[in-house]
Amino acid sequence: MKKELYQTPWNFLGLPEDASTPAAQGWLLPIPYESTTSYGAGTRDGPAAILAASRQVELYDQEFDCEPAMEYGIHTVLPMNLVHRSPEAMIQAVEGAVAELLSGAQRPKVLGILGGEHSISAGVARGIARALNPGSLVAVHVDAQSDMREEYEDSPYSHACAAKRILEVCPIFQIGIRNLSSEEAFFLRGCKKVRTVFSEEANDPKGFYLRDLAQFVRNKQVFFTIDLDGLDPSIMPSVGTPEPGGISWERMLEIARTVCANAAQVAVFDVVELAPIPGFRPPDFLAAKLVYKLFSYALRNRKAKNNRSKNG
Amino acid sequence: MKKELYQTPWNFLGLPEDASTPAAQGWLLPIPYESTTSYGAGTRDGPAAILAASRQVELYDQEFDCEPAMEYGIHTVLPMNLVHRSPEAMIQAVEGAVAELLSGAQRPKVLGILGGEHSISAGVARGIARALNPGSLVAVHVDAQSDMREEYEDSPYSHACAAKRILEVCPIFQIGIRNLSSEEAFFLRGCKKVRTVFSEEANDPKGFYLRDLAQFVRNKQVFFTIDLDGLDPSIMPSVGTPEPGGISWERMLEIARTVCANAAQVAVFDVVELAPIPGFRPPDFLAAKLVYKLFSYALRNRKAKNNRSKNG
Amino acid sequence: MKKELYQTPWNFLGLPEDASTPAAQGWLLPIPYESTTSYGAGTRDGPAAILAASRQVELYDQEFDCEPAMEYGIHTVLPMNLVHRSPEAMIQAVEGAVAELLSGAQRPKVLGILGGEHSISAGVARGIARALNPGSLVAVHVDAQSDMREEYEDSPYSHACAAKRILEVCPIFQIGIRNLSSEEAFFLRGCKKVRTVFSEEANDPKGFYLRDLAQFVRNKQVFFTIDLDGLDPSIMPSVGTPEPGGISWERMLEIARTVCANAAQVAVFDVVELAPIPGFRPPDFLAAKLVYKLFSYALRNRKAKNNRSKNG
Amino acid sequence: MKKELYQTPWNFLGLPEDASTPAAQGWLLPIPYESTTSYGAGTRDGPAAILAASRQVELYDQEFDCEPAMEYGIHTVLPMNLVHRSPEAMIQAVEGAVAELLSGAQRPKVLGILGGEHSISAGVARGIARALNPGSLVAVHVDAQSDMREEYEDSPYSHACAAKRILEVCPIFQIGIRNLSSEEAFFLRGCKKVRTVFSEEANDPKGFYLRDLAQFVRNKQVFFTIDLDGLDPSIMPSVGTPEPGGISWERMLEIARTVCANAAQVAVFDVVELAPIPGFRPPDFLAAKLVYKLFSYALRNRKAKNNRSKNG
Amino acid sequence: MKKELYQTPWNFLGLPEDASTPAAQGWLLPIPYESTTSYGAGTRDGPAAILAASRQVELYDQEFDCEPAMEYGIHTVLPMNLVHRSPEAMIQAVEGAVAELLSGAQRPKVLGILGGEHSISAGVARGIARALNPGSLVAVHVDAQSDMREEYEDSPYSHACAAKRILEVCPIFQIGIRNLSSEEAFFLRGCKKVRTVFSEEANDPKGFYLRDLAQFVRNKQVFFTIDLDGLDPSIMPSVGTPEPGGISWERMLEIARTVCANAAQVAVFDVVELAPIPGFRPPDFLAAKLVYKLFSYALRNRKAKNNRSKNG
Amino acid sequence: MKKELYQTPWNFLGLPEDASTPAAQGWLLPIPYESTTSYGAGTRDGPAAILAASRQVELYDQEFDCEPAMEYGIHTVLPMNLVHRSPEAMIQAVEGAVAELLSGAQRPKVLGILGGEHSISAGVARGIARALNPGSLVAVHVDAQSDMREEYEDSPYSHACAAKRILEVCPIFQIGIRNLSSEEAFFLRGCKKVRTVFSEEANDPKGFYLRDLAQFVRNKQVFFTIDLDGLDPSIMPSVGTPEPGGISWERMLEIARTVCANAAQVAVFDVVELAPIPGFRPPDFLAAKLVYKLFSYALRNRKAKNNRSKNG
């Protein structure tokens, strides 16, 4: 078969074979799980929509003046199989898969994950803790909801409890919150392991909290979990609960740059809750571009640090 | 408040208050549950779409030359709360709710149920068996899929196992099947408790199997479970797995008439798996009209029988 | 401007200038009126959708083995202005426009009208009666609803009263009816000026009623009014009340052929109630093709008759 | 029936029974009227879409650190019946319903209304004037259009004349206007009863006009009428005439806070012209959240004032 | 990586690795080309939609009482790269790719192709003729349009000329035609190399023409080209020109069975012109099921024949 | 025919006959060409969507305090015929049409063009150069992509090469670029004929580059080419590649005012790449309003200048 006659394989960004093998520094795992969603359905179609849109994202990134993905490579893992015995069983499967990927002989430097609903993030956090040093782990969490419920619709593994489950593993820095229950508000006031930046503060042009964020992640291993409804509905309508007053694209990038520039390592990130609207593609494209940016910030800064330590 | 200024309440068919109280002979319970769906989402929006469309259905029915619902009344129950601890827990909740409704002091003569995904039918069957005499219970099942898997995606309570779970409660007569696995085909050949009418036979204009169906339900209590994907996609595209070659509207009515005219009682029916397509309403309307017809066949024939026995 | 560089003008079928002037035998008047619709909106977009779709209809018609529209010509009139003072005022405006068009010095042999909601047909009927000999006028009416209510939602000019208003002008032959109120059923039983062919009879393959229809229109002037929801929802989902059990495409053409072959003249027809579904075009295309067929049957048979009388 | 098995009733915010009886301080009246719309249809579906979306709005509101609706209660009235005799007849029906609701023995402290098209606001204003002291009444009007036409498409009760009809009842303060006719521009220059804040001024970050607004409503009874197309299309695309350059979510809240904090009473507000886009829910959710905020500002500030006067 | 954690690879039917290697007997080549479409866009998204839907098709086929694809295997080739220098250049690229695939050392027994627009079929026919014995080649062509224009919109490689280009390679048997130009009608009357079965004949329940079809393909190599608009719009609305009066699902299967049972070999088939409607999946699913059936008929009958000749 | 009964003709803004004849100063040419699009289809429907939406744009413009189009007039030319022989042939046809329109006896002062895909702009630029003095010609180009590829998907006339082809005719000032390939980045660094304002600079509130822009166009003939994906996806989602971080509505108007106030003449502008999303109209409306603003800036400033020179 003459190669030039055919399109590049079906992977994130449509990378050529040699930039998308398991030898790549970035791995991307789709988890099209959706089960406990209460309003609006479709997050199970999120990963496929992001992969499809990513093929239109330009490899060249002006911010780095190069094609970063061609340098570090991204390997698109096959989507996880679903377990529908119970949400808990699925979360355990996610934990197992993440732990196994992070501790394999051949393993990613940065693991990106595409949801599916936010509940998977609990499994992701547990998987990281199992595979890496849990003592230095912290989570940065962009979201409209606080997700600090103990249980929701009779399940502790609902998408509405995602952050509460993560908190059992490590401290959390939340950004963009603008929808919470009184139970959650009460809990947050009393909890020292969570710093919550509500949306007014998150959108303030001065962005003072970015310094706190830099401090929070410094020398830590970071799990970066992004529920896309943290963004403003004008740029991200494809979510189940589109709360007005969210984060802009420019601010989202500032947050990501701050995290990746100051953390010891962003070992894992996930981007969840995209529920594609049929025929309305801009949000899919934005999500794909965000994932690419996250890989680049996490892997390019890492390199810089490695170089520094080598030279230092 | 002057009554004539306001619309009728939000219930099935938009019935006036006095025809929709719990004293009505028909009750309708929405169960907007969706969790194990594998392809295409949205059955959680099915009950609301059917209720909305039903308000446009004309009360007068030419077949009976009257407004049947004004005679027997239909009470629209509030939708069931969802349980997301596990599919099994939800099925148990359904079982509990159905059993309780059927054995209450004030209870329906016919209970209709709106899904949601087909897995709820397992709970419905169990609830009927708990509340009524299980010895004389049989199930009539319209569907494109056989749903005879023992387990699917790691859960025995998946929508793909609905009929297998019902079979644990009572014999089944299946109509319209045209999509099954080899495991299911093997199982069906060996199982005497199931009679399967595949789609070619189901669509045959002569409809010889209708006599078998009449025989199957004679003097029995019937649970009538209709997965809407049993109908042809040309009239019912709003389903997760739209298999070509399905049942027509006219034939669906013939089946329903046969069941209700011959059974001792159709105590419960459910209509499941409507996944409304935004902006495309004909399937919602058809489902609403089908539910109305089912109530009328079940309750009008019942009356006829009661009269006969009184006079006999 | 070089002609061949540009597309044909924006008119029905995209006819060239010389086949679409007011000298054409067929005129087409769009009336994008919508005001009293009770369920589902969008008939105001119907005429534009039909015109857009018509540009894809092939001019050549195999049934006539020629391009009929190039022989008789069709002039697309500008859409009528809307009047929103009251439904009655709009109906009067329609009456005036139709009467004026039919009695102008330059006037169509056949006037086609595109709705808009069905209420406009009352104005059309009155306009015909004012301009032509009302004594020999009859109406043929394809619909799912009987539209024989005296008043609906407080207006006698609602779309649900269309046929009742027409009946004040001339006798009616209804086909495809399958949705009516008890008030209407009672009225129809007692009324000698209406012949109603319900949907079971309308769909019977033998079509015995077509002989009655031929008899009904013989030597009469016919107003042919087609509510598209008379067709089956599998081919015509783009209507407000998509009743299952409707007329097929083949039967619709048989009806039209019967009317046009036997009437003295089909002076006016209307095709109403198309509510285009965004992104779903087959119904728009079908409606466009139906309008073209109606012009051809009405004008080609007319010619045949004229020739006969000349030669006779 | 065990209560915990079923969902809360179908009302605004999905409030429990005891917070949604007629004893509640807030009442919400849906008026799904649409008749004179000129471009884009679907406002008749607006109220249902807002109610559906409201069930996902969190009861807890950070701005008040409580669940305000549980304190004051909101009673969802049944939707008004439609009158299609003429727009004028419908406006009269609205006037009657509003006047009756405001002067009943059991009546709301604040009446919210969901449109439907903007023309209903004329009836609302008249109803308020009939029931309350018209001398101290003023209207605050958010919109993209000035709506100051004397007549439109032959009706003085068109949606395009809404503000002109209100002006016959009381003075108006308009905000966000960016689409008007030359007739309207001429009229506005000469009219002292209207203050118009065009969109450039409305969006100016400094917001000087908010002081004028506070002055305008001070010690007045206010009718607050919000045509959602006053908001920017990026957050509110679901309107008939989506004019670029509109008001942001944050500014909308500032306007509402200013009105409610300074008025003697905001007896009635309406939120009109939502034309839901199938499958695109963020605008429905935003509208629901805005309605909740309006109730909270109007009823919480009222309480504060009452307390003050009691104590003063 | 534990295999059972992940879904099967992204290929037609979601086959496991070992049934989808190049050693498989069936190969499937997506050609998402769209350039000359005149009405309605989106055939470039057709192949991806068919692949996505195919993953929901059950492997087990009752007609064969086995999982045919697990026996013969299907290898999904990467989509062809697009050439936009001119339609002619793209057709040449298709010709080259098809010829190369059919004459490779490792090559398919049956090559299926997914369009894209119908114009690619000209390249397919040329590629077959180059690779195989052109003397015994015939084409069977299901379509609504005759596609016998010499040139359209200034290009001889338009989708509207597909059959004319194929005719330069081999004789054609057309089925389902119901839309043609007078130029085409004239041409067809005079051309002996084409047999055209118009839609009335194609839909006749007796199906006499199937005998002619069997005769036409007997002992021939067949190129089977299916423009999905040959099917009826009630089951296949997702096409650019949805002509009423098309072929049913049952008849389509009869045609396919007739071709595959009588031909010496169906070396290549294509299924073209699917333009997926966002959010409306039944047509995608039907197309996927049709492709699977075509592989099974072509490869299972082939086996039967081989066995016969071996034994004979 | 009584004029007041009918709507205004189908032209841009729905202008009355006498303001839309070829004697008008502004002409608008739709070119619904789409052939080389790689992602997302539908630009062929762009011109029709803009025309349809324009009929809702208010003629009165507050910025000028008059109805500008009634002063200068706009003539809507029929859409160009498509040529599908090759992209090059279409570009040549565009060149011919533009040159012919600009040099006719009766010709526009300003020619606006509606795409269609961006590749047509190459033909437009060549047509201007052929008809007018090419020495003083410059292009101003709003876009998300640089479009400076030499060739794309094997064609130098792809939409992705539009600016490169224009550059062969005249210098370019690009604004809003935020998506380019490394090939393009390299080219831009070395090319003196292009000034590129990337999106960060383009969105800077201070807008220093507007002075450079004024300088660039001073005393020049300007071809103003606007790819709508230059705007932010929150206000313009209906494009093939919706890049986050684009230009706001207010800034777009500032750019247009700067160009038209400083150029000697804006002889031609085009607005391209609108791919309407079915049912989602705000972007169509925005595009229509932008086209109207462009005509007004270009023709009103022209008049001012003419007056000045007359008086000077």
> ipTM of the assembly?
0.92
- Cβ contacts (< 8 Å) between D45 and chain C: which residues? 41
In the chain, the amino acid numbered C31 is I
**Stretch C25-53: mean pLDDT, rounded?**
86
Give me the pLDDT at residue D50, please.
96
Give me the pLDDT at residue E121, please.
98
Residue numbers of chain F with a pLDDT score lower than 70: 1-4, 36-41, 301-312
Whether residue B119 has pLDDT greater than 90:
yes
F9, F97, F278: residue with CB nearest C5: F97
- DSSP for F265-312 reads EEEEEEEE---PBTTB-HHHHHHHHHHHHHHHHHHHHHHHHHHHHHH-
Give me the pLDDT at residue A186, please.
94
Give me the pLDDT at residue D64, please.
95
**Residue pair E202/E141 in contact by the 8 Å Cβ criterion:** no
**Stretch E105-117: mean pLDDT, rounded?**
96
Cβ–Cβ below 8 Å for C181 and B282:
no
* Structure tokens given for F270: 């085009």
What secondary structure, in 3-state letters, does B149-193 show? CCCECCECCCHHHHHHHHHCCCCEEEEEECECCHHHHHHHHHCCC
Q: Please tell me what DSSP assigns to residue F258.
A: H
| For B155, nearest residue in chain A (alpha carbons) | A85
Q: Encode B93-112: b = buried (16+ Cβ within 10 Å), e = exposed.
A: bbbbbbbbbbeeeeebbbbb
**Stretch A261-280: mean pLDDT, rounded?**
95
User: H helices of E156-281, where?
Assistant: 162-167, 182-190, 199-203, 209-217, 249-262
What number of other Cβ atoms are within 10 A of residue D192's Cβ? 6
- Cβ contacts (< 8 Å) between D282 and chain A: which residues? 233, 237, 242, 244
Whether residue A305 has pLDDT greater than 80:
no
| Closest alpha carbon to E99 in E222, E267, E239 | E267
- Cβ contacts (< 8 Å) between D245 and chain A: which residues? none
Measured between CA atoms, how close is D201 to chain F, in angstroms? 13
A200-214, B291-305, D97-111, F185-199: least confidently modelled range: B291-305
Residue B226 is inside which H or E element, if any? Answer: strand B221-227
Task: Give residues with Cβ within 8 angstroms of F278, minimum separation 6.
Answer: A279, C278, C279, E278
Give the Cα separation of B251 and F250 in Å (integer). Answer: 60
Give the Cα separation of E157 and E91 in Å (integer). Answer: 8
Helix (H, G, I), strand (E, B) or coil at E190: helix
Task: Give residues with Cβ within 8 angstroms of C178, minimum separation 6.
Answer: B62, C144, C198, C199, C243, C245, C246
Would you list which residues of chain D are within 8 Å, Cβ to Cβ, of chain F?
38-40, 178-182, 184-185, 198, 233-234, 237, 240-245, 277-278, 280
- pLDDT 10s digits, E155-201: 899 889 999 999 999 999 999 999 999 999 999 999 999 999 999 99
Tell me what percent of chain D is helix, strand and coil, each rounded to the nearest 5.
45, 20, 35
Helix axis angle for E249-262 and E282-311, nearest 10°, is 20
Give me the pLDDT at residue C38, please.
56
Q: Which residues pair with C237 in a beta bridge?
A: none
What number of other Cβ atoms are within 10 A of residue D211's Cβ? 10
User: H helices of chain E, where?
Assistant: 46-54, 68-72, 87-103, 120-131, 162-167, 182-190, 199-203, 209-217, 249-262, 282-311
Task: Report the percent of chain E where pLDDT is more than 90.
Answer: 80
Give me the pLDDT at residue C312, please.
36
Whether residue A124 has pLDDT greater than 70:
yes
What number of other Cβ atoms are within 10 A of residue B308's Cβ? 9
Give the Cα separation of E276 and D186 in Å (integer). Answer: 50
pLDDT bracket for residue C310 (50, 70, 90): very low
**Residue pair B293/B285 in contact by the 8 Å Cβ criterion:** no
In the chain, the amino acid numbered B52 is A
**Stretch A22-32: mean pLDDT, rounded?**
96
CB pairs under 8 A between C and E: 52
Phi, psi angles (nearest 5°) of residue E172: -130, 140
Whether residue D257 has pLDDT greater than 50:
yes
User: H helices of D30-103, where?
Assistant: 46-54, 68-72, 87-103
Measured between CA atoms, how close is B285 to chain A, in angstroms? 21
Whether residue D165 has pLDDT greater than 50:
yes
**Stretch D59-73: mean pLDDT, rounded?**
96
* Structure tokens given for C247: 């007329």
| Closest alpha carbon to B210 in B248, B166, B173 | B173
Task: Give residues with Cβ within 8 angstroms of F133, minimum separation 6.
Answer: F221
- pLDDT 10s digits, A271-292: 999 999 988 999 999 999 999 9
Give me the numbers of helices (H) and strands (E) for chain C, helices first please. 10, 8
Give the Cα separation of E35 and E41 in Å (integer). Answer: 9
Cβ–Cβ below 8 Å for F180 and A58:
yes
Cβ–Cβ below 8 Å for E285 and B242:
yes
Chain E contact probe: residue of B152, B178, B182, B281 with most E CBs at under 10 A? B182
Would you list which residues of chain B are within 8 Å, Cβ to Cβ, of chain A?
34-36, 38, 41-42, 44-45, 81-89, 152-155, 158, 278
What are the angstrom distances between the C-alpha of E188 and each of B266, C65, C91, D250, E226?
59, 13, 49, 68, 19
Give me the pLDDT at residue C40, please.
55
- pLDDT 10s digits, B211-264: 999 999 999 999 999 999 999 999 999 998 899 999 999 999 999 999 999 999
pLDDT bracket for residue A99 (50, 70, 90): very high
F8, F52, F81: residue with CB nearest C5: F81
Cβ–Cβ below 8 Å for D7 and B96:
no
Whether residue D308 has pLDDT greater than 80:
no
Helix (H, G, I), strand (E, B) or coil at A148: coil
| Closest alpha carbon to E269 in E240, E235, E297 | E297
| For F102, nearest residue in chain C (alpha carbons) | C1
**Residue pair C213/C259 in contact by the 8 Å Cβ criterion:** yes
Cβ–Cβ below 8 Å for A78 and E7:
yes
- pLDDT 10s digits, A127-153: 999 999 889 999 999 999 999 999 988
Helix (H, G, I), strand (E, B) or coil at F135: helix
| For A42, nearest residue in chain B (alpha carbons) | B41
Q: List chains touching F (3+ CB pairs under 8 A).
A: A, C, D, E
Tokens 């108007």: give the residue.
Answer: F253
- Cβ contacts (< 8 Å) between E62 and chain B: which residues? 178, 180, 185, 198
Task: Report the percent of chain D where pLDDT is more than 90.
Answer: 81
E41, E82, E155: residue with CB nearest F84: E155
- Cβ contacts (< 8 Å) between F157 and chain E: which residues? 84
Give me the pLDDT at residue F311, please.
42
- Cβ contacts (< 8 Å) between D42 and chain F: which residues? none
Query: How far is the first Cα of chain A from the last one, in angstroms, to the nearest whole number?
Result: 50
Cβ–Cβ below 8 Å for E181 and C58:
yes
- pLDDT 10s digits, A193-232: 999 999 999 999 999 999 999 999 999 999 999 999 999 9
Query: How far is the first Cα of chain E from the last one, in angstroms, to the nearest whole number?
Result: 50
- Cα three-residue angle A125-A131-A137, rounded to 5 degrees: 50
Q: List chains touching B (3+ CB pairs under 8 A).
A: A, C, D, E
Give the Cα separation of D174 and B154 in Å (integer). Answer: 60
pLDDT bracket for residue C106 (50, 70, 90): very high
**Residue pair C153/C38 in contact by the 8 Å Cβ criterion:** yes
- pLDDT 10s digits, C170-201: 999 999 999 999 999 999 999 999 999 999 99
pLDDT bracket for residue A310 (50, 70, 90): very low
F36, F38, F44: residue with CB nearest E41: F44
Helix (H, G, I), strand (E, B) or coil at D229: helix
Whether residue E304 has pLDDT greater than 60:
no
What pTM was estimated for this model as a whole?
0.92
Helix (H, G, I), strand (E, B) or coil at C80: strand
Give me the pLDDT at residue E35, please.
83
What number of other Cβ atoms are within 10 A of residue C222's Cβ? 26
Give the up-direction half-sphere exposure of residue E292: CA atoms within 13 A in the CB hemisphere. Answer: 30
Q: Which residues pair with C226 in a beta bridge?
A: C142, C271
What number of other Cβ atoms are within 10 A of residue B254's Cβ? 15
C-alpha B86, offset from chain centre: 23
Would you list which residues of chain C are within 8 Å, Cβ to Cβ, of chain E?
55-56, 58-60, 62, 65-67, 232, 234-235, 249-250, 279-282, 285-286, 289
- pLDDT 10s digits, B3-26: 677 777 889 999 998 999 999 999
pLDDT bracket for residue A304 (50, 70, 90): low
Helix (H, G, I), strand (E, B) or coil at E49: helix
